[in-house]
Amino acid sequence: MPEFDNLNYSWSCRIVNQLYNFGVRTVCISPGSRNTPLTLAFLEHGQYNCVSHIDERSGAFFALGVSMQTQNPVAILSTSGTATANILSAVIEASQSRIPLIVLTADRPSYLIGTGANQTIVQKDIYGYYVRSFKDLGLPLDEMNSLDSSIHNALQMATGINWNNDLVSPQGPVHLNIPFEEPLYSSDRTKDNLEIEITKQFPLSVAVEAEIEIPVSNFPIIVCGRLAVGFNTAAIIELSSYLNAPIFADPLSQLRYGEKHPNIVSTYDHFLKLQNISPDLVIRFGLKPVSKILCEKLDKWNEFSILVDQCGRFNDDCNLVLSEKIETAVEFIKSKTKSSNVAWRDTILNIDSQTRNEINNKHLNCWFEGSIAKTCFESLDDRDSFFIGNSMPIRDVDMFVMAFPKKVQTYSNRGASGIDGIVSSALGVASKSNGNILLLIGDLSFYHDMNGLLAASRYNLNLTIVVVNNSGGGIFSFLPISNEKGSSFDEFWSTSHNLDFSHTAKLYGCNYIKVDSLPSLQEALSESKKSKGINIIEAVIDINENVKQHRVISNALKQFNQS
């Protein structure tokens, strides 16, 4: 029988070295027995930022946040069995958001599957459609060339980058399943620091559509959905100026905040319901926007829409896709189009300005979720980071935090828009950020990922969390089903919880304060900048009053547009 203990360790060192040579610098490790050889290899490599997470789900979402902030692949390591299943939700989010994660799952030997052996499940393809590639590496061998090839291929799929350093396919998660035979390791193992020479392979291919024709246009608009921090937004501004095209800028576009250009529009979620806006050319950048009404309009405008995406078509139904780098795409579009009449642009900008003034001057000085979102943003400084939770927080930011020249980097788990793992993702961003970082999150979402707070205390992370506590799923109060108020609605939709989050703060050693007004929130946010660690600000909201204020604003805008 081979000496599996030393072979397991050499195999693991080879994997760890390969990952490092491809740019992986952070690994999130959850405890277990079967993953011990890999855990030792990561710890003894000496160059990794190894982060321990008791909960695999929180660890995976933390890795997601690190990758979001650094734009580099991050590894996740788990033991075998149901531990692997806990990573699925983060894998789905990474896939939809194009975030490179390297999921390493330890496993039992294949001959134990179906035998009733403890902690043994079928781990092959456990993440299904949501990984760019899956590979079972098999039991360790003395000959490691096949291992090298498997890791090279997986990492190319994760990063989407070929050997010319061009992005040729969508980034995303990959899964390497790594079985080990017992004994798992030896106490007298020899550290393997073998340098790995990466052999050049053929670049990945991506389906590129034939050259497209740009529709003749007199009324163009640009729509920017979610874009990664660091994206070249200057090219979008250049195209907007050339075409005289207004830019409908999503709060996650990295354009709404930090740019002073007058063409940026941010109140479309309000005025598209009231004004007949009829463009004849829509140029899109980034993922689909947050705004429901804007997405509905994009469906109607799809016939004359173009999506600029270097990777080609991925998870999008846009009529035409221009598969080029943004700089090349902008020059191509400029060569095929001409400037539109400034009257079209000015009409849109005037509607945006009037809508902004109506909302800011008359409706954001009372206590509701929209004013909370605006107050949170106003507390941030240039180069700070704003992580925005799903459900109502991201919608409140979209509706009530207008374009502003202060440069704030925005993050959110909008790939699949789940409410799980958001605390951990925000902490992942915080672990690599220099400035202040603020998380705006709903109470149910906070409850879903309270486990993630443990990483903050273990690694001395700094984060301010504003928890909007409306005692349940407040977003459902805007649905038609809410008209059928009663015990069933409360139990199965709004899910009132009556939790006191001060106990959560005490359990995880966080600073805590409860607020119920804009002045008290402003003061708490100001004080949080002076406190290290995790600052939890619980903002208590009456959901019925919140719905009422939304309707007041909606009705006021209707009357304003009819006058």
190 backbone φψ class: left, alpha, beta (φ>0; ψ -120 to 50): beta
pLDDT in tens, 443-472: 999 999 999 999 998 899 999 999 999 876
Nearest of 318, 11, 28 to residue 143 by alpha carbon: 11
Report how far apart, in Å, the C-alpha atoms of 337 and of each of 156, 242, 347, 521, 524 are. 36, 9, 21, 49, 51
Q: How far apart are CA 314 and CA 332, in angstroms?
A: 21
Sheet holding 534-540, edge to edge: 409-411, 385-388, 437-442, 463-469, 534-540, 511-515
Distance of CA 38 to the CA centre of its chain: 27
CA dist 554 → 274, 507, 559 (Å)? 10, 41, 9
| Contact present, 58 and 80 (Cβ < 8 Å) | no
Residue 134: phi and psi, rounded to 5, are: -130, 140
* Residue type for position 88: L
Residue among 53, 56, 57 at smallest CA distance from 413: 57
What pLDDT does 203 receive? 37
The SS3 call for residue 368 is coil
What DSSP element (H or E) covers 441?
A: strand 437-442
Of 57, 2, 52, the C-alpha closest to 28 is 52
Tell me the C-alpha distance between 429 and 412, whole Å.
10
Pairing of strands 385-388, 437-442: parallel
Closest CA to 247 of 210, 300, 283: 283
CA distance 366 to 360: 11
Strands (E), 336-396: 385-388
- Residue 52 contacts residue 29 (beta carbons within 8 Å): yes
Q: What are phi and psi of 317, to 5 degrees?
A: -105, 20
Contact yes or no for 452/55 (Cβ under 8 A): yes
Model pLDDT for residues 503-562, shown as the tens digit of each residue? 999 999 999 999 999 999 999 999 999 999 999 999 999 888 888 888 899 888 888 777
How many CB atoms are located within 10 Å of the residue 417 CB? 13
252's CB contacts (< 8 A; 6+ apart) are: 225, 226, 227, 286, 290, 388, 394, 410, 411, 412, 414
pLDDT 10s per residue in the chain (563 long)?
346 778 999 999 999 999 999 899 999 999 988 999 999 999 999 999 999 999 999 999 999 999 999 999 999 999 999 999 999 999 999 999 999 999 999 999 999 988 888 888 899 999 999 999 999 999 999 889 889 999 999 999 999 887 777 788 899 999 999 999 988 877 766 655 444 444 434 333 334 444 677 877 889 999 999 999 888 899 999 999 999 999 999 999 999 999 889 999 999 999 999 999 999 999 999 999 999 999 999 999 999 999 999 888 888 889 899 988 899 999 999 988 888 789 999 999 999 999 999 999 888 889 999 999 999 999 999 999 999 999 899 999 999 999 999 999 999 999 988 888 999 999 999 999 988 999 999 999 999 999 999 999 889 999 999 999 987 655 555 556 555 565 555 655 556 667 889 999 999 999 999 999 999 999 999 999 999 999 999 999 988 888 888 889 988 888 877 76
Question: What are the C-alpha distances in Å from 384 to residues 46, 406, 412, 474, 526?
Answer: 31, 10, 15, 28, 14
